[in-house]
Chain A
Amino acid sequence: MGGSLLTIKDLHIDYRARGETIRAVRGVSLELGFGETLCIVGESGSGKTTLAMAIAGALPPNATIRSGEIVLNNVNILNNREYPRKLVSLIPQEVGSSLSPFHTIEQVFLDVLTSKGVTDKGEALKIARSTLSLVGFSDINRVLKSYPHELSGGMLQRVLIALAVSRRPLILIADEPTSMIDASLKRDVVELLKNIVLTQSASMIVVTHDIALAPHLCSRIAIMYSGEIVEDGLSTEILANPMHPYTVMLLESIPRILSPRKLKAIPGLPPDPRSTLTGCSFEPRCPKAIKGLCDKIKPPLSTIESTRRVSCHLVQGKEVTLNEDPSS
C-alpha cells in the first residue's frame, strides 16, 4: 500500500466550547491513495466534518489535535497545520457566506489563482473559464462579471466547486454537497461531482450524511459514529452487504419508494460528545450487544476481508474473541 497520499493514524481531536471539552474525533485511522475517492458518512455529531476540516487544514481556533498523526504527501501536518491549504481544497457546505459580497467572481478567481502562483492575468482567466465550463456554466462572461448575491444558491455552489478545482489540489473535499436541496438539484450535483472525478486527477473526499448517495460519488466509504470509524470498505459492497450493526440499521431506516417496507428506526440517541465511553460506542442502541463484552471492551477496527474493516466484536470472522464469559 505504498504511495499513499494521505495517512491518518489514531487521530484524536477535541473542541473547547462554552467551557466544555467536546471529543469530536476519537481515534480515527485511514488511508487515501492518489486519485481515490472516499465518502465519509455519518450523522450529526459523528465527527465527520471535524475530520474533513483537519485534513483541509481548516480547523477552527478552538479545536485541538490531541494526539495522532496526519501525513499528507509525506508531510506531517500536525507540526504544520497550514500546509494542507496549498494541496487541499475544501468546498464548504454554506455557499452563501463563503464569498465576499464586494468582489466579482472574476476577482475571486484572480485572488485565488494568484496565491497559487499564477500571476499572469491572462493565464488565470483561462483557468477560470475552463473550470467554469467544467462545472456546466454556458454564459461564462456573465458569471465572471457577477457578484455573489446575483447568483442563485445552485450557481454559487458550482462556482465554489470551480474555484476549488482551479487550485489544482491533490485532494478535493466536498462538505455535504447534497444536503438540503431538492432531488433534481441533488442529481445535478452528483453528476457534476462524478464528472469532476473523471476529468481531474485529484483525490476526492465527500462528507455526507446520505449514505445512499455514496456509491455514486466514491469508490470507498468510511462510516463514522460518535467520533470513530465503525466500518469502511468499497461503497457498493457496503450498501449491498453491511456488516456493522449501525450500518445495517441505518440502511434499514431509509425509506424506499419502489418496494416500501416497514422502516425500523434505530432506538435511542447517539452518545454525548462530551463524555468518555467504555466499550463500544454503539452498544447502548445495539440489539446484538453482548453484555459484559460490548459495554466493557472497545472493539478494534479490524480487517475482515481485504477491502473491509469493521469495528464490532460480533464481526471478527466466525469466532468472537472474548476475555470474559458473555452472560448469555
Chain B
Amino acid sequence: MMIAPALLKDFIAFLRKDKLGLLGLLLIAGFIIIGVIAPYIVPYPEDAWGLTYNVERRLQPPSRAHPFGTDEYGRDVLSRVILASRFSLIIAISVVTLSLIIGVAVGLVAGYLGGWIGSTLMRVTDMFLAFPPLLLAIAFASILGRGLENVIIALSLSWWPWYARLTFVQVSSVKTMPYVDAAKIAGIPPLRILAKYILPNSLTPVTIQAFLDMGAAVLEAAALSFIGIGVKPPTPEWGLLISDGWILIGKAWWISLFPGIALFITVLGFNLLGDTYREYSNPKIRRLAEARV
C-alpha cells in the first residue's frame, strides 16, 4: 500500500462533501481518460501527429468541420489539442515516477543510515533545492536538447530533490517509532524492516505530493516547450501549440487559445484536488469544513 489505507478511506469520505475537490477530481479523471484514448478519438489523426500540410485548409477559424479551427499548416487544432493531452499525461506520469524513484531512494538511504552518509546526501539534495525548479529544468533541457525523453529527464533531474527531502524527513522520524523497535525485538530481519515497516510508513506524504505534482509537471513541460527547449515539433504538446500560434495571436487567436484552455483546465483540476487535500490535512480548517452542509 503506497498510501495508508485508513487515510485514503478517510480522505474519500471528506472529498465527497467538497464540491470543488470533486470538480478537481473530475477534471483530473477527464485528463487521464482523454490522454489514454486520445489516438482513438482524434477526428483527423494525421493532422494530430503533424504529418500533413494542407495549404487550402490553412488558418481557418472554428467551424463545424474544425471546432477549434486550423493552424498555419492546415492541421485541425482540436485533434492536436486532444493528442497533446496524451503527451502531457506521459510526461506527467514519467516525470513524477522517475523523480519518485530517485528521490525516495536517496531519501530512504539518507534517512535510514543517518550519520555522515545521510548528511552528505542531504547536502547534495539541498544544493539542488537552492535553485528554482524551472530554472534548473531549463538548464538541463538546454544541455540535453529538445525531445520528449529529454524533457522527462530534465524535469525529473530538477524534481527529485523535493521527494528526497520529504522522504528523508519521514524516514528519520519513522525509524524511531515503537513499531520499528517492536519489529527489531521480534527478530525481523533489517531489510524486511526497511521494506515493510519503514518505507510504507514514509511514502504517504511523498506519494500524495507526487500525484498532485503531476499538474505542475504538465505546466513545466509546457513552459519548456513554449520557449523552445521542450518537445520536438511536430509532436503536439500544449506549450508547443501555444507558442506555434503566438505570433499569429491577433489574426488566428484560436491556435493558441484552445491549447491554453486545455492546459489551464488540467492544471486547475490538480490544484483544486490539492487544495482539498491541504484542507483535509489541516485539522482546524478541516473541522470547519466538516461543519458545512
- Return chain B residues, CB-CB under 8 Å to A61: 287-288, 290-291
Question: Total A-B pairs in contact (CB under 8 Å)?
Answer: 19
- Return chain A residues, CB-CB under 8 Å to B14: 18-19
- Return chain B residues, CB-CB under 8 Å to A16: 290-291
Contact B17 A62 (CB under 8 A): no
Contact B291 A18 (CB under 8 A): no
- Return chain A residues, CB-CB under 8 Å to B288: 61
- Return chain A residues, CB-CB under 8 Å to B16: 19
How many A residues touch the partner, as a band?
A: under 10
Tell me, yes or no, whether A60 is within 8 Å of chain B by CB: yes
- Return chain A residues, CB-CB under 8 Å to B290: 16-17, 61-62
Chain A 1-44 interface residues, beta-carbon cutoff 8 Å to B? 16-19
Chain B 7-27 interface residues, beta-carbon cutoff 8 Å to A? 10, 13-14, 16-17
Contact A60 B287 (CB under 8 A): yes
Give the CA-CA distance A18 to B290 in the complex, in Å.
8
Contact A18 B287 (CB under 8 A): no
How many B residues touch the partner, as a band?
A: under 10
Residue of B nearest to A60 (CB): B287
Chain A 229-253 interface 0/1 with B at a Cβ cutoff of 8 Å (1 = within): 0000000000000000000000000
Q: DSSP class of A's interface residues: helix, strand, loop or mixed?
A: loop
- Return chain A residues, CB-CB under 8 Å to B291: 16, 60-62
Contact B13 A19 (CB under 8 A): yes
Shortest C-beta distance, A129 to chain B (Å), equals 33
Chain A 48-70 interface residues, beta-carbon cutoff 8 Å to B? 60-62
Give the CA-CA distance A62 to B17 in the complex, in Å.
13
Residue of B nearest to A61 (CB): B291
- Return chain A residues, CB-CB under 8 Å to B17: 19
Shortest C-beta distance, A18 to chain B (Å), equals 5
Give the CA-CA distance A128 to B14 in the complex, in Å.
43
Shortest C-beta distance, A57 to chain B (Å), equals 16
Give the CA-CA distance A222 to B16 in the complex, in Å.
39
Shortest C-beta distance, A103 to chain B (Å), equals 19
Give the CA-CA distance A151 to B37 in the complex, in Å.
62
- Return chain B residues, CB-CB under 8 Å to A62: 287, 290-291
Residue of A nearest to B14 (CB): A18
A-B contact pairs, 19 of them (CB 8 A): A16-B290, A16-B291, A17-B290, A18-B10, A18-B13, A18-B14, A19-B13, A19-B14, A19-B16, A19-B17, A60-B287, A60-B291, A61-B287, A61-B288, A61-B290, A61-B291, A62-B287, A62-B290, A62-B291
Residues of A within 8 A of B (CB): 16-19, 60-62
